[in-house]
Amino acid sequence: MPYLKPNQTDDRLFSMQSSHCEYCDNLSPAIDTLNYCSHKSRNVDDISSNAYYFMDNRLNSGKHVSRFSIRAVYNGYQHYQVDQREHLLSKDRFLVINEGQSFENTLEQDDDAEGIIVAFNPNFLKYYLYHINHTDKQLLDKPFHKIEASLLFYENSFEKSRRLDNHLRSLIRAIKVGKEEPIYYQQKFIGVLDELVGVEQVMKERIGKIKALKGKTREELYKRLSSAKDFIDANLDKMLSLEKIAHVSCLSPFHFLRSFSDCYDITPYQYVKQERLKKALFLVQHSHMDLSQILGASGFENKRTFQRAYQKQYGVTPHAHLLQVRA
């Protein structure tokens, strides 16, 4: 079935919109099967792995409990709160939510954003983990064995690799045109998991850059730095001081500055400026805001500073770019 926005009608879509909350009903599934909604208390083990697509400019999920899932958004910014932490998703990043974590998300902008969620059945993950951790001989001897464990990621958003981005965009295209073969999607789900393992390796490399003697200390520092990074992303429109960001990570400003730079190869100030410019570019291209509103929404306090930084980054002043886009 080709993708339909929620205000369009289709008999199959109508039949699915009777057993979930409003948020889940507005998601278009890849495989037409039972879908998990924590509001309805279905047993998560009974629900197959699936992908869900949305295209909208207004979303509010309310509180849910997640399966192990990854979430991405295109052409927009989506706010997530996972347990007690805030995250801001953009086209460059994706979010991993571990099984059992509570979340809430909101999206509010002028143009429609597209998004994709890939949520996994727990047993699917256990079979996958057994497969990647055993030899071919072991897989031949016990082909249907599984590991009684699950993937567990640090609670933060991650940069998309090109291969992961390709998988997610392929899923979006397939759902939009109504590709219905489950085997296609199941292949893609395994490809997504393969790329998550690669992301985990990149994460370990970042941890290795942190200058601390003990591995456990480096891991704890990485957790704290990633929480600070996500705090920056979610609060670009607010006044951000080194002290405030360091406080979020429970580090002194001096320790935070040195460790952040070691881990991410960029200073906190450079990162804040980089992300504010990305947000300003998006608002110029995809919102109905005037320049003063864009200035505030992207977190710049000084108009001249904003204009110089924007022109240096994009080769055009924000005012001239705004006129080009809206001509």
Distance CA 61, CA 222 (A): 29
Q: Which long-range contacts (CB under 8 A, 24 or more apart) does 35-43 make?
A: 36/67, 36/119, 37/64, 38/64, 38/65, 38/66, 39/64
What whole-number distance in Å separates Cα of residue 310 and Cα of residue 304?
A: 10
Q: From residue 218, how far is each of 245, 254, 258, 268 by CA, in Å?
A: 19, 16, 13, 18
Q: What is the mean pLDDT of residues 65-94?
A: 93
pLDDT at 14: 35
pLDDT band at residue 7 under the 50/70/90 scheme? very low
pLDDT digits (tens, 9 = 90+) for 274-284: 999 999 999 99
Residue in 107, 58, 99, 57 with CA at minimum distance from that of residue 78: 107
> What residue segments make up the domains of the chain, in order of their start?
11-206, 210-265, 271-325
Q: Over the stretch 283-326, which tens digit does the pLDDT of each residue have?
A: 999 999 999 999 999 999 899 999 999 999 999 999 999 999 98
User: DSSP letter at 39?
Assistant: G
Contacts with 257 (C-beta within 8 Å, 6 or more apart), sequence order: 242, 246, 267, 268
Q: How far apart are CA 180 and CA 69, in angstroms?
A: 21
Q: CATH: 1.10.10.60, 3.50.50.60, 2.102.10.10, 3.90.180.10. Which one for 271-325? A: 1.10.10.60
Structure tokens at 257: 């500055």
From 264, 269, 239, select the one nearest 253 (Cα to Cα): 269
**C-alpha–C-alpha distance, residues 15 and 308, integer Å:** 54
The topology under which CATH files domain 11-206 is: Jelly Rolls (2.60.120)
Structure token digits, residue 319? 């005012």
Q: What mean pLDDT is reported for the chain?
A: 88
DSSP state of 160: P
pLDDT tens sequence across 253-269: 999 999 999 999 999 99
Beta bridge partners of 60: 106
pTM value is 0.85
